[in-house]
Amino acid sequence: MGRLNIAVVNADKHNCREICALLEKANIPGAPLYSLEVLADHLSREPVAVLIVDLDTLPVDNRFFRGLKKQYPDMHIFCLSSRTYHPGLEEAMGLYICVSLAKPLNFEELYYWLKAVADEPVFTT
């Protein structure tokens, strides 16, 4: 798998650290971020190939995802949620979000999707 810069944004600090720890066990570095403000600062300083967003803990909407993809068109957005339906995010789910993952997180599924995006030529090293 090519080297990916991954950011995990989740207001639940414990869950965010757990996801980053799982990534580290697979030798995949992940930056734990706990708010959208910290995410904006991180994205301005570091290139991010994959962004994992917890829909259950953050106040995100279609405009948020539209802005992310406009500013960072090559970034893959993965979402994590305990719900299967998110009213009001239909546009984001159809156009901007690459992968939706269920809680509790199945790391094998996450790894599969990370490998899929890492194998794209733009992200390999």
For 45-85, how does the pLDDT look when each residue is reduced to its tens digit (9 = 90+)?
999 999 999 999 999 999 999 999 999 999 999 999 999 88
pLDDT band at 125 (very low <50, low <70, confident <90, very high): very low
**DSSP-derived secondary structure letter, 123:** G
Domain residue spans of the chain: 6-123
Mean pLDDT score across all residues of the chain: 91
Task: Map tokens 């990370």 to a residue.
Answer: 114
CATH number assigned to the domain covering 6-123: 3.40.50.2300
Q: What is the DSSP letter of 51?
A: E
Rounded to whole angstroms, how far apart are CA atoms 67 and 85? 22
Q: Which of 62, 54, 65 is nearest to 11 (CA)?
A: 54
Q: Has residue 1 got a pLDDT over 60?
A: no
- The pLDDT > 70 percentage for the chain reads 93
Q: Which residue has the higher pLDDT, 86 or 44?
A: 44
Answer with the residue of higher pLDDT: 36 or 122: 36
Specify the pLDDT at position 124.
41
Residues 6 or more apart in contact with residue 35 via CB below 8 angstroms = 9, 11, 58
Share above pLDDT 90 across residues of the chain, in percent, rounded to a whole number: 81
